[in-house]
Amino acid sequence: MDHRTYSYFPGCTLKNKAQDLDRYARASAEALGFTLQEIPDWQCCGGTYPLAKDEIATKLSSVRALADAQKAGQDLITLCTACHNVLKQVNSDMQNDENVIRKVNNYLAQDDIEYHGETKVVHYLEVLRDVVGWDNVKKAVKKPLTGKKIGAYYGCLLLRPGKVMQTDDPENPRLLEDFITAIGAVPVIYSQRNECCGAYTMFEDKDIPRSRTEKIITDAESHGAELLITACPLCRYNLIKNKGASSIDVVYFTELLAQALDVKEVR
């Protein structure tokens, strides 16, 4: 494919606790023929999509990022599934909700911004699937993870709400399994792969994520998974923190991609 440049919204977590998700994605993108151009002066998306219909203020940072991508004439790419979910849902509001469109644009007019949902929001995994193509990912692999049994952990935010996200089938996704196959490993299918890890309930009741992640890890291991991959920093945190005596590791998919492409730096 021709070399493409995407406007890139990293989000807060990729600048601190999830630096591996960011670093390996950038290096792998260059190896596969596209560039992540970080949006200047981006602001936190809020981490969760506001459900209140009259909540406008917390959507403004997302709209600014979307408008920046539109101004650059680029699609907007994300990695963190929480950021992706917020940006995609806010973008849908700016296409379909006249109340939100009017109020947001009235507010942002002071910054000479007018936006109506023109930007396409894509997840990094969608670019691998829909733009690069799995066959081309396979061709670029230099160190295939042959025989490695890997379980995909989607969580909630990458897939739901399905009508807005349109990433994959929320009940029977294949996106991460196809990625695992492309880097030469063996995907492990298990029932808990698209169930919630407990997410933000960890701040109020730690028993909820503990119980949920135990089920996820037990299910994955019982089906033969040696490793779990995810695109969500919060999911990874909950899975690692609550895995108990399990020896299974949980890593970002970008780390394995960089390893397979032989662009992962040696520390």
Across the beta sheet with 4-9, the strand order is: 34-38, 4-9, 76-78, 121-123
4 strand-pairing partners: 34
Residue 54 has pLDDT above 90, yes or no: no
Q: Quick one: DSSP state of residue 153? A: -
pLDDT more than 70, % of the chain = 99
Question: Dihedral of CA 244/248/251/253: which sign?
Answer: negative
pLDDT in tens, 211-249: 999 999 999 999 999 999 999 999 999 999 999 889 999
Q: What would the mean pLDDT of 131-150 be, rounded to a whole number?
A: 98
Q: And the tokens for 93?
A: 């509001």
Average pLDDT over residues 19-35: 97
Q: Residue 125 pLDDT > 50, yes or no?
A: yes
Q: If you average pLDDT over every residue of the chain, what do you get?
A: 95
**Cα separation values, 117 from 29, 65, 68, 91, 111, Å:** 26, 11, 12, 5, 17
Beta strands 34-38 and 249-252, pairing class: unpaired
For 146, list phi and psi in degrees, rounded to 5.
-60, 125
Q: What single string gives the DSSP state of each residue in 85-141?
A: HHHHHHHHHHHH-HHHHHHHHHHHGGGT----S-SPEEEHHHHIIIII-HHHHHHH-
Q: Is the pLDDT of residue 105 over 70?
A: yes
- Mean pLDDT within 36-43: 96
Distances (CA, A) of 13 to 17, 146, 172, 174: 6, 31, 28, 26
pLDDT of residue 172: 96
pLDDT for res 267: 47
Mean pLDDT value across residues 122-142: 98
Instruction: Give pTM, 2 decimals.
Output: 0.96
Count of C-beta atoms within a 10 Å radius of residue 32:
21
Mean pLDDT value of segment 84-101: 97
Mean pLDDT of 128-142: 98
The alpha carbon of residue 75 and the mean position of all alpha carbons in its chain are separated, in whole angstroms, by: 15
